[in-house]
């Protein structure tokens, strides 16, 4: 809630409390509004006309005061009392409600609704929309630094078999471990990526950066660069990409890409969804930086309908029950 709205709400509450506290107990009535033609008003428990003056008992100061009768907007004063008797909210309350609704709509636009009562957390980066025990859930994907395995042994054997002038080398981008921490229970998970909070990971290891192949230029559509790859599990690791270096030293990368759709949603989010169900196995979200390359930083997950629940999953919010309006007391 904005500071201005909070202040106005506080003033309304304070004014209400002040009226109830200062009104004479014997009157047993709420203060009325003596509305003036300039739009302001005085809170009064009662008033009377004395010639060209209006004397009123101030509900705020509990004292008699006066105002010229010609300054009083009797039509607006009468309408306010009629509206209050009919239960119509005051103009200030209506205005505050409008501001609150506008702020709520603005905040909800930043955090899109992805399932009933389930919104994307504002400060998250990569989220997987899963279904566990028939309940939609959001699970945050963790970033992993894919290691470049130069496969020196295999490439050395290859160089001995193939003449040196035409020898090329093959390297792999690998993730440690057989399984990702996050396991999707649905075979059609959607990945939500928050580009508004996207930051390139810092790499303080210059030597490690030098080992990676030169990355091509950014694609024309920066939001349409995230894809899902099917990882190959081998020797206790998950291979998410292959780097081939030709005899001239040019490096190209290939991946086992899954066919997906990529669409922009509100709040700076991008949604990546497979077009067909994924087979059980290990996967990763990768960032393609051009026609021949990918970022070695990846976001891994698996697909296993029988896996246990994911830790720290975001579940649908429980709707707050709205109390039923009270029936008006019938006059006896």
- Please answer whether residues 144 and 300 qualify as being in contact, where contact means their C-beta atoms are separated by less than 8 angstroms: yes
Residues 54, 173 within the same domain: no
Percent of the chain with pLDDT over 90: 43
Domain that holds residue 173: 114-201+208-303
- φ/ψ of 5, rounded to 5, equals -65, -40
Residue 295 lies in a domain: yes
- How many Å apart are CA 238 and CA 314, to the nearest integer? 27
pLDDT number for residue 215: 40
Whether 9 maps to a domain, the answer reads yes
DSSP 32-44: EEEEBTTS-EEEE
The answer to whether residue 239 scores a pLDDT higher than 60 is yes
Q: What's this model's pTM, rounded to 2 decimal places?
A: 0.57
Per DSSP, the three-state class of 61 is coil
Residues 6+ positions from 152 with CB-CB distance below 8 Å = none
Pick 256 or 330 by higher pLDDT. 256
Residue 282 in any domain: the answer is yes
Q: For the stretch 154-192, what's the b/e string if a residue is b when 16 or more beta carbons lie within 10 angstroms of its beta carbon?
A: ebeeeeeeeeeeeebbebbbbbeeeebebbbbbeebbbb
DSSP-derived secondary structure for 246-303: -TT--EEEE--EEPEEEEEEGGGEEEEEESSPPPSEEEEEEEB-SSS-B-SEEEEEEE
CA dihedral of 286, 288, 291, 293, whole degrees rounded to 10: -70
Q: Is 331 helix (H, G, I), strand (E, B) or coil?
A: coil
What pLDDT shows up at residue 232? 92
Do 123 and 237 share a domain, yes or no?
yes
Among the ranges given (183-192, 296-305, 323-332), the one the predictor scored with the smallest mean pLDDT: 323-332
User: pLDDT band at 153, cuts 50/70/90?
Assistant: very low
308, part of any domain? no
Judgement on whether residues 132 and 281 belong to the same structural domain of the protein:
yes
- Reported confidence tier of residue 315, pLDDT bands at 50, 70, 90: very high
Q: Are 48 and 76 a contacting pair, CB within 8 Å?
A: no
With the C-alpha atoms ordered 243, 245, 251, 257, is the resulting torsion angle positive or negative?
Answer: negative
Pick the residue with more confidence: 35 or 323? Answer: 35
More confident residue, 325 or 81: 81
* 152: pLDDT strictly greater than 60: no
Q: 267 and 146, same structural domain?
A: yes
Same domain, 141 and 38: no
Is the pLDDT at 188 greater than 90, yes or no? yes
Q: Do both 98 and 118 map to the same domain?
A: no
For the chain, how big is the Rg over CA atoms in Å? 34
Picking from 90, 110, 130, the residue at the C-terminal end of a domain is 110
CA separation for the pair 284, 177 (Å, rounded): 13
3-state secondary structure 303-327: ECCCCCCCCCCECCCCCCCCCCCCC
Taking the C-alpha atoms of residue 120 and residue 192, their distance in angstroms, rounded to an integer, is 8
Segment 203-216 mean pLDDT: 38
pLDDT of residue 225 exceeding 80: yes
Q: How many of the other CB atoms lie within 10 Å of CB of 30?
A: 14
Most confident stretch, 182-196, 255-269, 310-324: 182-196
Q: Which residues contact 144 (CB under 8 A, 6 or more apart)?
A: 175, 176, 284, 297, 298, 299, 300
- For residue 70, the model assigns a pLDDT of 95
Average pLDDT on 86-111 reads 71
pLDDT band, residue 292 (cuts 50/70/90): low
Residue 313 located in a structural domain: no
Q: What are phi and psi of 143, to 5 degrees?
A: -85, 135
In this structure, is the dihedral angle defined by the CA atoms of residues 239, 240, 245 and 249, taken in order, positive or negative?
A: negative
pLDDT band at 157 (very low <50, low <70, confident <90, very high): very low
Classify residue 312: in a domain, yes or no. no
Whether residues 101 and 130 share a domain: the answer is: no
The verdict on 130 and 97 lying in the same domain is no
* Run of H or E including 197: none
Supply the pLDDT for residue 109.
Answer: 64
What confidence tier does 328 reach under pLDDT thresholds 50, 70, 90?
very low
Domain boundary residue among 86, 110, 134?
A: 110
Q: Where a domain ends, among 80, 110, 140?
A: 110
Residue 140 placed within a domain = yes
Specify if 325 maps to a domain: no
Q: How many domains does the chain contain in total? A: 2
C-alpha count within 13 angstroms, C-beta hemisphere, residue 119: 16
- Considering the domain architecture, whether residues 54 and 98 belong to the same structural domain is answered as yes
Mean pLDDT of 48-58: 94
The reply to whether 139 and 105 lie within a common domain is no
Position 251 scores a pLDDT of: 57
153 and 61 in one domain? no
Confidence of residue 31 (pLDDT cuts 50, 70, 90): confident
Residue 66 backbone class (left: φ over 0; alpha: ψ -120 to 50; beta: rest) = beta
Give pLDDT, residue 84. 83
- In this prediction, residue 217 has a pLDDT band, given cuts at 50, 70 and 90, of very low
The answer on 86 and 13 residing in a single domain is: yes
**Can you spell out the DSSP letters for 204-226?**
--HHHHHHSPPP-PPPSSTTS-E
């Amino acid at each position: 809630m904005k500071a201005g709205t909070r202040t106005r709400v506080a003033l309304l509450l304070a004014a209400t409390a002040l009226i109830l506290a200062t009104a004479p107990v014997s009157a047993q009535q709420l203060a009325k509004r003596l509305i003036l033609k300039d739009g302001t008003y005085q809170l009064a428990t009662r008033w009377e006309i004395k010639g060209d003056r209006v004397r009123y008992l101030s509900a705020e100061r509990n004292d008699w005061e006066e105002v010229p009768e010609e300054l009083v907007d009797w039509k607006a004063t009468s309408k306010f009392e009629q509206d209050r008797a009919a239960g119509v909210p005051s103009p200030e309350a209506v205005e505050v409600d409008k501001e609150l609704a506008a702020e709520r709509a603005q905040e909800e636009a930043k955090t899109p609704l992805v399932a009933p009562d389930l919104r994307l957390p504002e400060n998250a980066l990569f989220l997987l929309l899963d279904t566990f025990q028939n309940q939609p859930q959001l699970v945050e994907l963790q970033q992993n630094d894919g290691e470049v395995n130069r496969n020196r042994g295999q490439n050395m054997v290859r160089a001995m078999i193939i003449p040196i002038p035409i020898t090329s080398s093959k390297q792999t981008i690998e993730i440690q471990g057989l399984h990702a921490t996050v396991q999707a229970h649905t075979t059609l998970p959607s990945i939500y990526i928050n580009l508004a909070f996207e930051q390139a990971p810092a790499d303080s290891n210059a030597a490690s950066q030098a080992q990676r192949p030169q990355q091509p230029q950014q694609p024309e559509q920066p939001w349409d660069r995230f894809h899902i790859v099917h990882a190959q599990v081998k020797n206790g690791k998950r291979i998410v990409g292959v780097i081939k270096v030709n005899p001239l030293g040019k490096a190209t990368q290939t991946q086992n890409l899954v066919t997906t759709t990529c669409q922009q949603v509100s709040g700076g989010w991008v949604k990546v969804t497979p077009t067909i169900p994924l087979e059980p196995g290990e996967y990763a979200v990768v960032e393609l930086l051009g026609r021949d390359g990918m970022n070695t930083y990846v976001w891994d997950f698996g697909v296993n309908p029988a896996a246990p629940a994911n830790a720290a999953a975001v579940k649908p919010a429980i709707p707050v029950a709205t109390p039923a309006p009270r029936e008006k007391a019938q006059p006896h």
